[in-house]
A and B are shown apart, each in its own frame.
Chain A
Amino acid sequence: MSTPKSHRFDTLSLHAGARPDPATGARATPIHQSASFVFPDSDHAAALFNMERAGHVYSRISNPTCAVLEERVAALEGGVGAIATASGQAALHLAIVTLMGAGGHIVASRALYGGSHNLLDYTLPRFGIATTFVDPRDLDAWRAAIRPETRLLFGETLGNPGLDVLDVARVAALAHDHGLPLLVDSTFTTPWLLRPFEHGADLVFHSATKFLSGHGVVIGGVLVDSGAFDWDGAKARGKFPTLTEPYHGFHDMVFAEESTTAAFLLRARREGIRDFGACMAPATAWQILQGIETLPVRMQRHVENARKVVAFLAGHAMVASIAYPELASHPDHALAQRLLPRGCGAVFSFDLQGTREQGRRFIESLRLFSHLANVGDAKSLVIHPASTTHFRMSAPDLARAGIGEGTIRLSIGLEDAEDLIEDLSRGLYNAGKA
């Protein structure tokens, strides 16, 4: 008997979770555009509701097309399963509310997407969940911020917008020393660049709107569970009653006893998706699946183009600084070389020399780069974070997050890099004349 081989990343990108449709032979995953699914008989119906048999009941809770996406992302991340959500924000919310309620506390990197920062800093405190923000590079700050009521550590693999590289292994080890899981937002890296579970992270989520779908046509999120965290382990004992104590909302089910490796996902689906309802539509899942089929080749091209654009900007007189970890000037350069050998993604920021008016002139002079609030599109994008994605943050918070008045964020697409450079060159020239 020969030693079996696991399927490799590029193969899983195309096949994981899917097989030809047994009813029709359709090779592509069908869009199961159905709210509900017929029960063969009354006993089967009751068994489905009571988690005695596997299957689909109602598309808010699960759907066959969404399930293919969930398996595929779980396979690419090396997890035990996933839940597709209405957006990346919904995935973050689902992770948090599955682990804690009022009185809970999170320690989070302060270099976060503005929407995540807003949820943690302004919205969740209204529901009794507090967050302490820390410099992601300062392990002592992470440690000092942990309280008895802390239930989660959270950061982005590449912080937004300064591309602070999260030292996943060290932060995960610190979390585990305190009986806590580490959740990471892996949107900027995708599993092609980094598989956080291999470095100790416990939960990963993506805004699938970005590189996973890759074409800027859908809003969606995916929350993945490594299945490795021991919710009932000695250090974690008593911290996660949602997983280790009877849940009256499901006949006193104890999720950690029901499933050794997927307790978190069970609770998230049986409570969070069921009750909060931020599920993904099957057509959205199908579009994201189309994107993931080409994720490896797209990410390679995204990174190649980003490197060329960074090299151009680094030599331009109008550019004051570039935050890209492949540059020796980036504070996380050494860590990035170790953690991200395939590259540091295709989203980065740079600071323009000059006034806010010159920044405006730069953006408005661009012809190929689209001025909009998104990243990870096949088409190149540009935005001014201080006035858009991060506009709710105070000036000191902006400064702490590395965002200045002249900071410009680019998302490098799949166009010919020379055309992108010509476009940026024109923009910089016009900015210089303003």
Chain B
Amino acid sequence: MRLAVCGIDAYAYTGTRAFDEALPTVVFVHGAGHDHSVWALQSRYLAHHGRNVLAVDLPGHGRSAGEPLTSVEALADWIAALVVAAGAREAALVGHSMGALAALECAARSGDLVRRVALLGPAVPMPVSEVLLDAARRNDHAAIDMIVGWSHAPHALLGGHPVPGLWMPGGARRLLERSRPGALAVDLAACNAYAGGIDAARRVACPALVVTGQRDLMAPPKSAQALIDTLPDKRVVSLPNCGHAMTVEAPDRVLDALAAFL
């Protein structure tokens, strides 16, 4: 589905379903350097189980035009504008990593639009190492190698993709390689600079779900604890033996958590 958000062409995967105003809407927001395809299984399932799904490509990512947005606050406002542009009165937001920060901030800023918010692999704050930031700024492939290495549980770096025949580290590497030059650096800088996470958590009025991976090195579970402690209405799902790339490493467990919450 293509739609104009803030006057700029945007793409959202819908699971090959037409938007139905009578159905509840779920917006999926990807992480740094990614696109809608990281949600392939979860978004397709919900699209075929009674929801409108909008798995977005953020500006400057995937099939969406424009430049990558430079702050989590700007991403939050863009998500709210997308919900309106799609014609939904309200939506549940599901975000992963950087997308979780954007969903959190959006839920705090646009409470009237956000019915529920699911935060996968969040860290508040989300500091990014200078080594990674520097490599990303230089579009150095080392940035991708670092992210792939840190984003998977150790066993996942040797494969075991739940989708038959796919090689998990290879898919992760190639998706990041396909992001536009500079987009990853902008995303990581936005994560690194975001300081409003705890304040946003206090202002979230809707129910929240936090999903953490017990083997997550990018956003270790302890880095989400302050967020969890602050959210007024929350539930927490901790995925054993799962890294940061949880939508790919454990698609069914993520889907089960989302389906039960949404």
**Chain A residues within CB distance 8 Å of chain B:** 1, 3-7, 12, 15-19, 47, 50-56, 62-64, 66-68, 70-72, 74-75, 78-84, 226-228, 230, 246, 251-254, 257-262, 265, 269
Q: Is B159's CB under 8 angstroms from A17's CB? A: yes
* Chain B residues near A254 (CB-CB < 8 A): 16
Give the nearest-CB partner of A11 in chain B. B158
Please, could you name 17 A-B residue pairs with CB atoms under 8 Å apart, sorted by A? A3-B146, A4-B148, A16-B159, A17-B167, A50-B48, A53-B251, A54-B161, A67-B165, A71-B167, A81-B170, A81-B171, A227-B171, A258-B44, A260-B62, A261-B178, A262-B166, A265-B165
Q: Is A19's CB under 8 angstroms from B149's CB? A: no
Q: Is B164's CB under 8 angstroms from A62's CB? A: yes
Q: How far is the CA of A393 from the CA of B166 in the complex (A)?
A: 38
Partner of B16, one of A5, A17, A80, A252: A252
Q: Is A54's CB under 8 angstroms from B171's CB? A: no
User: Given A53-B255, A71-B166, A265-B165, are A259 and B16 also a contact pair (CB < 8 Å)?
Assistant: no
Within 8 A of A (CB), among B201-243: 217
Q: Is A54's CB under 8 angstroms from B252's CB? A: yes
Is B50 part of the contact surface with A, judged by Cβ < 8 Å?
no
1/0 per position for B154-191, CB-CB distance to A under 8 A?
01011111111111011100110110000000000000
Q: How far is the CA of A252 from the CA of B15 in the complex (A)?
A: 10
B interface residues, tally (CB under 8 Å): 44
- Interchain nearest-CB distance for B147 vs A (Å): 9
- Interchain nearest-CB distance for A323 vs B (Å): 34
Q: How far is the CA of A297 from the CA of B13 in the complex (A)?
A: 46
Partner of A246, one of B16, B149, B161, B217: B16
Partner of A80, one of B35, B158, B174: B174
* Chain A residues near B175 (CB-CB < 8 A): 227, 260-261
Is B88 part of the contact surface with A, judged by Cβ < 8 Å?
no
Q: Is B166's CB under 8 angstroms from A52's CB? A: no
Give the nearest-CB partner of B171 in chain A. A80
- Interchain nearest-CB distance for B78 vs A (Å): 20
Q: Is B165's CB under 8 angstroms from A81's CB? A: yes
Q: Is A228's CB under 8 angstroms from B158's CB? A: no
Q: Is A19's CB under 8 angstroms from B160's CB? A: yes
* Chain A residues near B131 (CB-CB < 8 A): 3
Q: How far is the CA of A70 from the CA of B251 in the complex (A)?
A: 20
Partner of A258, one of B37, B160, B161, B177: B37
**Chain B residues within CB distance 8 Å of chain A:** 13, 16, 35-37, 40-41, 44-45, 48-49, 62-63, 129, 131, 142, 145-146, 148-150, 155, 157-167, 169-171, 174-175, 177-178, 217, 251-252, 255
Q: Is the interface of B mostly helix, strand, loop or mixed?
A: helix
Q: Is B167's CB under 8 angstroms from A81's CB? A: yes
9 smallest beta-carbon distances between A and B, as pairs: A4-B149, A62-B164, A52-B45, A54-B162, A74-B167, A70-B165, A81-B166, A227-B174, A17-B159
In the complex, given contacts A47-B45, A54-B252, what are 12 additional A-B residue pairs having Cβ atoms less than 8 angstroms apart? A3-B131, A4-B149, A54-B41, A54-B162, A71-B167, A74-B166, A74-B170, A75-B167, A246-B16, A258-B13, A260-B175, A261-B175
* Chain A residues near B40 (CB-CB < 8 A): 258-259
* Chain B residues near A70 (CB-CB < 8 A): 164-165, 167
Q: Is B159's CB under 8 angstroms from A75's CB? A: yes
Give the nearest-CB partner of A14 in chain B. B158
User: Given A53-B252, A53-B255, A81-B170, are A15 and B158 also a contact pair (CB < 8 Å)?
Assistant: yes
- Interchain nearest-CB distance for A64 vs B (Å): 8
Q: Is B255's CB under 8 angstroms from A260's CB? A: no
Q: Is B165's CB under 8 angstroms from A19's CB? A: no
Give the nearest-CB partner of B255 in chain A. A53
* Chain B residues near A72 (CB-CB < 8 A): 159
Give the nearest-CB partner of B55 in chain A. A257
Give the nearest-CB partner of B175 in chain A. A261
Q: Is B146's CB under 8 angstroms from A4's CB? A: yes
Q: Is B48's CB under 8 angstroms from A7's CB? A: no
Give the nearest-CB partner of B154 in chain A. A4
Give the nearest-CB partner of A75 in chain B. B167
- Interchain nearest-CB distance for B11 vs A (Å): 8
Q: Is A4's CB under 8 angstroms from B150's CB? A: yes
Q: Is B164's CB under 8 angstroms from A79's CB? A: no
* Chain B residues near A19 (CB-CB < 8 A): 155, 158-160
* Chain B residues near A1 (CB-CB < 8 A): 129, 150, 217
Q: How far is the CA of A56 from the CA of B163 in the complex (A)?
A: 8
Q: How far is the CA of A104 from the CA of B142 in the complex (A)?
A: 40
* Chain B residues near A253 (CB-CB < 8 A): 16
Q: How far is the CA of A262 from the CA of B248 in the complex (A)?
A: 13
Q: How far is the CA of A79 from the CA of B169 in the complex (A)?
A: 9
Q: Is B48's CB under 8 angstroms from A3's CB? A: no
Q: Is B164's CB under 8 angstroms from A261's CB? A: no
* Chain A residues near B145 (CB-CB < 8 A): 3-4, 6
Give the nearest-CB partner of A254 in chain B. B16
* Chain A residues near B36 (CB-CB < 8 A): 260
Q: Is A50's CB under 8 angstroms from B166's CB? A: no
Q: Is A228's CB under 8 angstroms from B177's CB? A: yes
- Interchain nearest-CB distance for A260 vs B (Å): 4
- Interchain nearest-CB distance for A243 vs B (Å): 14
Most buried by B among A78, A254, A258, A262: A262
Q: Is B16's CB under 8 angstroms from A83's CB? A: no
User: Given A19-B155, A54-B163, are A78 and B170 also a contact pair (CB < 8 Å)?
Assistant: yes
- Interchain nearest-CB distance for A63 vs B (Å): 8
User: Given A53-B252, A54-B163, are A260 and B149 also a contact pair (CB < 8 Å)?
Assistant: no
* Chain A residues near B162 (CB-CB < 8 A): 54-55
Partner of B171, one of A16, A17, A67, A261: A261
Partner of A6, one of B13, B49, B62, B169: B169
Q: Is B255's CB under 8 angstroms from A79's CB? A: no
Give the nearest-CB partner of A70 in chain B. B165
Give the nearest-CB partner of B142 in chain A. A3
Partner of A50, one of B37, B44, B142: B44
Most buried by B among A15, A19, A257, A258: A257
